[in-house]
Structure 1
């Protein structure tokens, strides 16, 4: 389980309108240290930020916002706050399909295949796509995170659970956080996203004419330990270490990995 220190740290910055917002730091490393807090945050899409949380958000003094959504996902869903000029927003899109669909279009496509689609397998395939087919995007994100002056930073996708969860896991593994702690931290998206999950289930059941149960939809809308564990098993079987994966598969410079490790620990 995550440490009490992590829970305390996250409660300080809690934002009601960004339900999956949290610091990726504060976790113990294998050598007994803690990863730094206040360096990198993760969240669901910031367009949901409301005025009551604006002061907290601006108080983060972000230098970089890394948006993992596709161009169609971003349309009409950009942040409502006005950037101050000191915050750089960079879009590094991770695609769920070969086409750039909005989330609603993806849901409609899934509903059209409701009789045959396996949501559990759909998500497992997506995780493999991110780690083993989106290596250029992972290189670009790691390079951005290591750039001088980019901290504090925020990384987000739509729900802040899958694409964002994978990137957070990579950073945590690079900094020496044990795998069990990484997986526990990844699973925090489920309780944090519960209200949004319930809303999405109601919408999808309506779109399906109530032909699909809540239980069958949950693998699509929750994170599952096996999604992350399976791709990490494959990563370590292929490359032996997270550093080797980043350098060989993603062409990340060794110096970039060194900077990330120094910055976050």
Structure 2
């Protein structure tokens, strides 16, 4: 498996702020950013965000302009029914591949994240298959806030393509700034979004999710094979996105 996440990212606060500031703005969408530029994953191929239920026509045009052709919605069936993505008429393909089928999950993050790591296998496999279809690139992965379920799925995809642990962690933690879950903004954000939506993400919890994957399946490839991926698909993905010059490959 790729290098595992450590408790503290090595990226500087300045680098994280610069990356967050450089993220494209999509009208009506929170926490949107390019998940590429890590490991062998290039920019402009995989994006991540919160829900698209308030996506505006200008936002849809922005997504199309960025190359987004497929949206992978990780939310539960009740969430989708309550707040469907506003993709009508955009020409963007919609796939619903939930992490949790129903709106029931552990209240404690320490319990939630290992479970999400296990249940993320099917959505990650679906994303791999879309990334192997050039006509469907780029892919946008989202949940409700784009931080927990999306964070784990994207971390697994980045790790699959050899992203170093510091880069995976830094990208994961950018959701805190994007959603106002740091410093003085945290109390207001938490009050406006009770439950997990108002909690900041933590490197420790992501580490637990990825350690759980490794402890149950030995490797990330083993995890995905157990959730329906084929070895030929994983090899094809790595062939489509070979390591960048000077970047280390991870298995």
TM-score of the two chains, using structure 2 as the length reference:
0.76
Equivalent position of 2:22 in the other structure: 11
Residue 35 (str. 1) matches residue 13 (str. 2): no
- The alpha-carbon deviation at position 5 of structure 1 amounts to 11
Residue 23 (str. 1) matches residue 34 (str. 2): yes
8 Å contact from structure 2 (residues 125, 224) kept in 1 = yes
Equivalent position of 2:66 in the other structure: 60
Q: Partners in 2 of 1:18 and 1:200 — Cα distance?
A: 16
- The alpha-carbon deviation at position 184 of structure 1 amounts to 1.4
Greater C-alpha radius of gyration: 1
8 Å contact from structure 1 (residues 19, 192) kept in 2 = yes
Q: Partners in 2 of 1:203 and 1:6 — Cα distance?
A: 24
Deviations 1:1-24 (Å, cap 9, x if unpaired)?
179699569726233642310111
Equivalent position of 1:202 in the other structure: 191
Worse-matched range after superposition: 164-173 or 53-62: 53-62
8 Å contact from structure 1 (residues 123, 220) kept in 2 = no
CA RMSD of aligned residues (A): 3.3
Residue 224 (str. 1) matches residue 213 (str. 2): no
Equivalent position of 2:219 in the other structure: 241
Equivalent position of 1:260 in the other structure: 237
Worse-matched range after superposition: 184-193 or 249-258: 249-258
8 Å contact from structure 2 (residues 69, 136) kept in 1 = yes
For residue 154 of structure 1, give the secondary structure of its aligned residue in structure 2.
strand
8 Å contact from structure 2 (residues 26, 59) kept in 1 = yes
Structure 2 unpaired stretches of 5+: 1-10, 243-251
Structure 1 unpaired stretches of 5+: 111-117, 206-216
Q: Partners in 1 of 2:74 and 2:205 — Cα distance?
A: 19
Q: 2:99 aligns with which of 94, 97, 100?
A: 94
For residue 48 of structure 2, give the secondary structure of its aligned residue in structure 1.
strand
Q: Partners in 2 of 1:229 and 1:12 — Cα distance?
A: 25
For residue 158 of structure 1, give the secondary structure of its aligned residue in structure 2.
coil
- Change beyond 3 A, Cα 1:141–1:153: closer
- Change beyond 3 A, Cα 1:13–1:176: same
Deviations 1:110-130 (Å, cap 9, x if unpaired)?
9xxxxxxx95xx122222222
8 Å contact from structure 2 (residues 23, 34) kept in 1 = no
Aligned residue-pair number: 228
Output aligned runs, 1:95-134, within 5 Å: 95=100, 100-101=102-103, 122-133=108-119
Higher relative contact order (CA 8 A, sep 6+): 2
Residue 78 (str. 1) matches residue 84 (str. 2): yes
Residue 49 (str. 1) matches residue 60 (str. 2): no
- The alpha-carbon deviation at position 75 of structure 1 amounts to 2.0
- The alpha-carbon deviation at position 236 of structure 1 amounts to 2.6
Q: Partners in 1 of 2:220 and 2:202 — Cα distance?
A: 21
- The structure carrying a bigger helix percent of its residues is 1
- The alpha-carbon deviation at position 175 of structure 1 amounts to 0.7
Q: Partners in 1 of 2:154 and 2:117 — Cα distance?
A: 12
